[in-house]
Amino acid sequence: MKQIRNFSIIAHIDHGKSTLSDRLIQAVDIVSDRDFKDQILDNMDIERERGITIKSQSVCLPYTAKDNKQYFLNLIDTPGHVDFSYEVSRALASCEGAFLLIDASQGVEAQTLANLYMALEHNLEIIPVINKIDLPSADIERVKNQIEEDLGLDPEKAILTSAKTGTGIENILEGAVKYLPPPSGDSTLPLRALIFDSHYDPFRGTIIHVRLFDGTLKAGDTIKLMYNNAFYRVEEVGIFQIIRIPQKKLSAGQVGYIIAGIKTVSDTRCGDTITLKSKPCEGPLPGFKEAKPVVFSSIYPVASDGYEELAVALEKLKLNDASLIYEKDTSAALGFGFRCGFLGLLHLEVVQERLEREYDLSLILTAPSVRYEIIMNDGETLIIDNPALYPDPTMIEKTLEPYIRAGIIVPDRYMGAVMSLCLDRRGINKNYQYLTNNRLEMIFELPLAEIVYDFYDKLKSITQGYGSFDYEIIDYRETDMVKLDILINGEKVDALAQLVHRERSVERGRTACEKLKDEIPRQMFKIAIQGAIGGKIISRSTVSPFRKDVTAKCYGGDISRKRKLLEKQRKGKKRMKMVGKVMIPQSAFLSVLKTDD
């Protein structure tokens, strides 16, 4: 075990985690140059296109150190985006140490701090790494000051590297051997292994990613999953080296995989403990906090006969994404679908894109909303995330909405712009402090519903990309909430309904009506699009009808003849309006979610 090191690479978005993983993989020669490709651990198309990591991936790096001993370095590459921080916490639970990567030109950012605190909660050994030292704008001394002042780490320990050019990669491998502690555990004790991830292979079933803390495991053993007391016979164990490499056995301290003919991933819960049936351990390992969804949206197939395909696709996607939750839902306008819970808007976009690409589905999503607590007059508490279930306002005593504590790190020249953005979103300024002479951290308490819409995009644009943002949910507070209904041709469309704050309702209603006006195709009759709260209309726009010139064939003659034709046309349009149905295209549902810029 003294030859094993388990470590993770954590950092803010775009500070170079995946590129550094590439260089470490190339440095130990487990992939031939012919098979190598950039971001080799990002194996989803969507990850490669967006340039982000969504799933954390592990790889075992065999490394011969300067003392001529062979070491096995288990590296887990993690995502940087706040929506996927649950992936980071799961990766850290299976490590003893972490490299905290900091961009030499950007310095310490919000997610850097958040990830540092997460690593400290797991009592990990943390080594700072200053990356991108080859950039013309790199300022190593400034970053070293930030490491000391903002993070409280020793800047002299910081390893300088450039993942792009490969400078300093040897120092990172040596640093892992020298500074990181070997795993503790005992291979003679009963087996205790932690599931930190799993994915589905259509040929072999569920492949469980595990970290062994005690004991040994080999093919042929019968394992017990402690969460649901299920027993399975192990077919194969091994380690990850880009591809799966089978091994005779796994022992305490190692990170690897288990194949045991498990049909569904829902049987293997992340954070569950695996032990042997014949010699079980005393108790389970401490697992992970449940990933709690914060944004809710309904997903419907465009064609109503696509419901079964959507159900199958969601079940398969859930196999690889444990944090996705869904339940059946129905809508008068869109038929049958699913109400899904997501960890944030990026998570929602990723799930939508994966469903459309990997399973070839056409989908409609409703406006995202958060979870509200509604206290009724009779003292009953309802928890609602779907506007369709909003009760009669006369029966409600008060409504509570979730609040978050947002930490925003920006250069001080943007302080005024950020302040006005947050106050405009009903934020409360708690405090701010200078981290260095020109960078400050601003703490706000904001309603989560205001963040969901377009807050992050606005923050990035007003700070010219320098603002970084991290948040945690703190509590529920009383609010003045109303249900905004959208009426098209006098009929409510339940899938377009939104729960909004009373102050923002008129503005949100106008925006929705204007967007829909551009998307709904013209008919032979006038279509009214209205925003309503209860029985009160607060906004309206009109799709004007096609005009047919019925008087074109009348040359001269009596005016009464023209009048008669126009009157006949008016009656026809009126009758058409009564029976005519307005088809709402898919793009109309999506347009309501988008902002003007």
Whether residue 355 is found in the same domain as residue 432: no
315-365 pLDDT per residue, tens? 878 766 767 888 888 877 677 888 888 877 778 888 888 888 888 888 888
Q: Which helix (H) or strand (E) holds 531?
A: strand 527-533
Task: Please check whether residue 186 lies inside any domain of the structure.
Answer: no
Give 527 or 456, the one with higher predicted confidence. 527
Q: Please, what sign has the CA dihedral across residues 72, 181, 59, 154?
A: negative
Measured between alpha carbons, how far is 86 from 288 in angstroms, rounded to an integer? 9
Looking up tokens 């014949």, which residue turns up?
278
| pLDDT tens for each residue of 428-451 | 888 888 877 777 888 999 888 888
Distance CA 482, CA 504 (A): 10
Q: Look at residue 84 and tell me if it is in a domain.
A: yes
**Selected residue with higher pLDDT from 596 and 357:** 357
| Mean pLDDT over the full length of the chain | 80
Same domain, 249 and 229: yes
Report the pLDDT value the prediction gives residue 41, as an integer from 0 to 100: 56
pLDDT for 49 = 61
The answer on whether 17 is annotated among ligand-binding residues is yes
- Judge whether 19 is annotated as a binding position: yes
Tell me if 133 is assigned to a ligand binding site: yes
The reply to whether 340 and 427 lie within a common domain is no
Pick the residue with more confidence: 547 or 350? 350
Share above pLDDT 90 across residues of the chain, in percent, rounded to a whole number? 0
Structural domain boundaries enclosing 300? 295-365
Identify whether 290 is part of a domain: no
Within-domain flag for 472: yes
Same domain as 503, residue 583: yes
Last residue of a domain, one of 221, 242, 276: 276
Whether residue 162 is found in the same domain as residue 28: yes
- The answer to whether residue 289 is domain-embedded is no
Q: Do 25 and 32 meet the contact criterion of CB atoms below 8 Å apart?
A: no
| Same domain assignment for residues 253 and 328 | no
587 and 553 within one domain: yes
pLDDT (mean) for 541-549: 80
Question: Which of 479, 508, 529 represents a domain boundary (last residue)?
Answer: 479
Q: What is the pLDDT of residue 74?
A: 84
Closest CA relative to residue 368, chosen from 595, 46, 84: 595
Distance between first and last Cα of the chain:
55
Domain shared by 400 and 301, yes or no = no
CB 133 within 8 A of CB 104: yes
In a domain, 587, yes or no: yes
Average pLDDT of 68-92?
Answer: 73
404 is in an annotated binding site: no
CATH number at residue 22: 3.40.50.300
Say if residue 595's pLDDT is above 60: no
**Res. 597 pLDDT band, cuts 50 70 90:** very low
Whether 236 and 361 share a structural domain: no
What does the pLDDT look like over 259-306, one tens digit per residue?
Answer: 888 876 667 777 778 888 888 777 777 766 666 777 888 888 877 788
The pLDDT of residue 51: 64
CATH number at residue 515: 3.30.70.2570
Residue 596 lies in a domain: no
Tell me: is residue 187 an annotated ligand-binding position.
no
Residues 29 and 153 in one domain: yes
d(CA 140, CA 104): 6
Percent of the chain at pLDDT exceeding 70 = 88
- pLDDT number for residue 44: 61
- Domain total in the chain: 5
Of 479, 500, 532, which residue constitutes the final position of a domain?
A: 479
Which of the pair, 248 or 464, is modelled with greater confidence?
248
Q: What is the CATH number of the domain that holds 347?
A: 3.30.70.870
Q: What is the pLDDT averaged over residues 487-514?
A: 84
Q: Is residue 132 part of a domain?
A: yes
pLDDT in tens, 94-153: 788 888 888 888 888 877 877 787 788 778 888 888 888 888 888 888 888 888 887 888
Q: Does 147 share its domain with 28? A: yes
How confident is the model at residue 55, as a pLDDT?
A: 63
> 515 and 470 in one domain?
no
Per residue in 204-225, pLDDT tens?
888 888 888 888 888 888 888 8
289 is in an annotated binding site: no
* Closest to 348 (Cα-Cα) out of 335, 336, 363: 363
